[in-house]
Structure 1
Amino acid sequence: MSQRSRDEPTRREYVKYGTTVLAGGLLAGCTGGGGSDGGGSGEQDGAGTTVSMSPVGEVSFESPPETVFTRLTHHADMAFALGRGEGITALHAPEYYDGLWNQFVERLPGVSLDWSGLYSSWEPDKETLYELDSDVHLADPAWVTQIEGWTREDIDEIAENVAPWLGNSLSDRHQEPPTAWAEGYEYYSLWEQFELVATAFGETARFEELAAVYEELLATIDSGLPPEEQRPTAAMISSGDMETIYAYTLSNPGFLTAHTRPLGPRDAFEGAVDSGATVDYETLLEADPEVILFLGGMEPETSLPDTRAALESNPVATEIAAVREGRVYPQGARYQGPILNLFQLEMTAKQLYPEAFGEWPAYEEGPYPELPAEERLFDRERVARAIAEEV
């Protein structure tokens, strides 16, 4: 246990933690369980920065957070994108995601990432949060209170004695919040939430630079998309042994589909399979996707050749169109932050629409392929400068 008395005021330099969501605000288009408008406001450079994010409400900082507790990778990626990569104190499955994220970061010149050895925070221990003594807990308290041993009172205790909470995870697929957090819970897109985090960190210039890259990438995609009837049917799956297979939706609301929804592929399951449901080879064959996106296929310890071989050797799977045509492609992660989102939009565009955006290379292992400059859909150097340098 931390030696700090829990009756002492926090030494953290924040001045307000509350649960009142500000009306109006920084962003438009957020929808939530209560139907209110979410948003926030802030002063540049982090001096007296105030931001409002559901489900916490208004949070203020006298100085920008430097050390950052995270639980899920969309938040860790946000902190990394804002130049706080070395300040992350915790992360779910740090060794796995360190390996996966570095497959992409390899293509950002002069940028490095090291999440290895961090505290694994899928089921965080309250006493460890005292010990980590982070400047901000970039995690959704509504989700944390669903973990055994955590209560609303524990959330308030950590906010008072260590540092505030600021994060939203139930926007992943617009999950229902716990009853205690249901009133007024807001859902944000990936880049809406990233803007709020950037404001809290006093890094709006970094956000604006990265958001400009994102908007240009979306414009490129929009200009090249074929008519809906000419788009392939697709399925996203994952599996550790190719015996138990999980299927995921491609276009439902939430940031888990932030790299597939803008591309508009046709759902091979036609809505008949819930995201995360298990499917067998017969169900896959009945759906007969023309493209299979294999989640986690770029993680260093995952063998994409073995995955393809398992599909090609199965008498049922070998009849699936995507398997027959060699269109089984790797993916990264659904809990993507802004940096992974840029790469995954590019790679998925090429995997689905090679005629419009250029072919995805014959990838089997290793880092994200080094595409020729003329075949890239976004500027790596511009992204790298935004992460590594003051903007």
Structure 2
Amino acid sequence: MQRETAGERGPTRRDYLTYAGVVGSGLLAGCTASGDTESSTAMPSKADSSTANEHSGDATQTTADSESGYTVSMSPVGDVEFDAPPEQAMVVFSHYADMAVALGKAETVQSLYAPDFAGPSLDTFYSRLDGVSLDWEGLPDPLSNGVDKEMLYELDSDVHFIDPSYVVKTQDGWDADDVAEITEQVGPWFGNYHSGLQDQPVSAYADDYQYYSLWELFEKVAAVYQEQERYEALRAVYDNLVSDIQSLLPPESERPTAARVTLIDDTFYAYKLNAPGFWHADTRPLGATDAFADVEWDSTWGMFDYETMLETDPDVILHLWGMSPGYYIDDIRERVANHPVGSQLSAIQNDRFFAGGVRFQGPIANLFQLELTAKQLYPEQFGEWPGYTPGEPYPEIPEEEQLFDRTRVADIVTGTV
């Protein structure tokens, strides 16, 4: 609980190439920590996160106490008491930073995992929203040397937007007692990591672990900041966007086969398109035919070589992080096109090898990524995807071809509405 006591830069292309081998591979492997060696086991959930709509109506419980404070409830942290909205927030993964930005609370973000990677990735979207930004330059990386108690004491955060199950499961020297110490001496934890893939939490938090959709998590973070009106306004934009998209989807028999991958060295790391979890919040509502739907793997992702990709040969390939430093789509596409097997892929030959967005997407990223993926999968219904220029903002799309209103979103975030 809150204790009763007390800029935008442009990395060089050399920087970008460095990220692929250093930060980039860490984002793929490190962010999931030990989860890449474990099966995804769904646990009981009030919300069916496999449904198309990411807001299933699981209302956030927020109650006021007798001294003008309030309580927000979320699994696995339970009922968390706040004296006032947080002014300082420890953030690890970028979806929580995106939530803070969306709620008009960008200035509260004190830290960010791989800021020189995640910051430009978010800027890609924010650049199309007047007055919306995140000052990520210079933010400390809370995972650079692992989650460190000394750093948490130094940050002195009012809230830690990270799942204690993730910390105990992936960080050396952490157990439930250490989590409790930080709660008592610094501030509460407020995160739910395993909803990303609906994978297994650590045993200390496994009882009654609840999975949430992206927009349910956002609703809870909005309650922490006491910004429910902003949440409701942005949710309305999201609901309208999903409704409009799904009303125009072609019959299932006419939808393309697609695969979402990340290429590292000569290995394609593949992700399910329509699986439960908020990591798929930008692909599942679009209902494309997953090229790997019938392929089983026990880890977070499937790993395939060029030959296997050609055997599967999806109509569309969505390259995760394709608008992020180190994975810019032009470089990746060129590598694949110059490979003797990769050049035979239908997605390469038909120019349907596209830049995807970020995996750790918050509400703003989710809106843009739904739009870009709809255009990439169904150009006849939603207009052609114009392509992405490495290092540039999200492409400028004519207003009549936009799937959601940028001005409306910017006005909500900046408080004009």
Q: Same fold (TM over 0.5)?
A: yes
The ranges of structure 1 where at least 4 consecutive aligned residues each deviate by more than 6 angstroms after the TM superposition are none
SS in 2 for 1:323: helix
CA distance in 1, matches of 2:159, 2:416: 21
CA contact (8 A) 1:12 1:162 kept: no
Greater relative CO, 1 or 2 (CA 8 Å, sep 6+): 2
CA contact (8 A) 1:41 1:199 kept: yes
Instruction: Give the CA deviation at 1:239.
Output: 2.2
CA distance in 2, matches of 1:207, 1:226: 31
Instruction: Give the CA deviation at 1:42.
Output: 3.7
1:59 equivalenced with 2:84 (yes/no): no
SS in 2 for 1:186: coil
Q: Which residue of 2 aligns with 1:165?
A: 189
Residue from 83, 87, 103 that aligns with 2:104: 83
Instruction: Give the CA deviation at 1:199.
Output: 1.0
* Structure 1 residues 160-180: Cα deviation after superposition (integer angstroms, max 9, x where no partner): 111111111100000111111
Q: Which residue of 2 aligns with 1:230?
A: 254
Instruction: Give the CA deviation at 1:38.
Output: 8.3
CA contact (8 A) 2:96 2:362 kept: yes
SS in 2 for 1:195: helix
CA distance in 2, matches of 1:185, 1:362: 40
CA contact (8 A) 1:67 1:84 kept: no
Q: Which runs of 5+ in 1 are unaligned?
A: 1-8, 14-26, 32-36
* Structure 1 residues 84-141: Cα deviation after superposition (integer angstroms, max 9, x where no partner): 2121111111110001110111000121222121111222101110000111111101
CA contact (8 A) 2:159 2:187 kept: yes
1:334 equivalenced with 2:355 (yes/no): no
Q: CA distance change for structure 1 residues 43 and 339 in 2, over 3 Å: closer, same or farther? A: farther
SS in 2 for 1:302: coil
How much identity, in percent, do the aligned residues show? 49
Q: CA distance change for structure 1 residues 289 and 339 in 2, over 3 Å: closer, same or farther? A: same
Return the TM-score normalized by structure 2.
0.83
CA contact (8 A) 2:62 2:72 kept: yes
Give the root-mean-square deviation of aligned CA atoms.
Answer: 2.1
CA distance in 2, matches of 1:85, 1:362: 29
Q: Which amino acid aligns with 2:225?
A: F
Q: Which amino acid aligns with 1:302?
A: Y
Q: Which moved more, 1:206-215 or 1:305-314?
A: 305-314
CA contact (8 A) 2:3 2:158 kept: no
Q: Which moved more, 1:251-260 or 1:72-81?
A: 72-81
Q: Which amino acid aligns with 1:292?
A: I
Residue from 87, 102, 116 that aligns with 1:95: 116
SS in 2 for 1:121: coil
CA contact (8 A) 1:72 1:91 kept: yes
Q: CA distance change for structure 1 residues 165 and 390 in 2, over 3 Å: closer, same or farther? A: farther
Q: CA distance change for structure 1 residues 10 and 339 in 2, over 3 Å: closer, same or farther? A: same
CA contact (8 A) 2:316 2:353 kept: yes
Instruction: Give the CA deviation at 1:390.
Output: 6.2
Q: Which runs of 5+ in 2 are unaligned?
A: 7-44, 50-57
Instruction: Give the CA deviation at 1:10.
Output: 4.2
Aligned length: 363
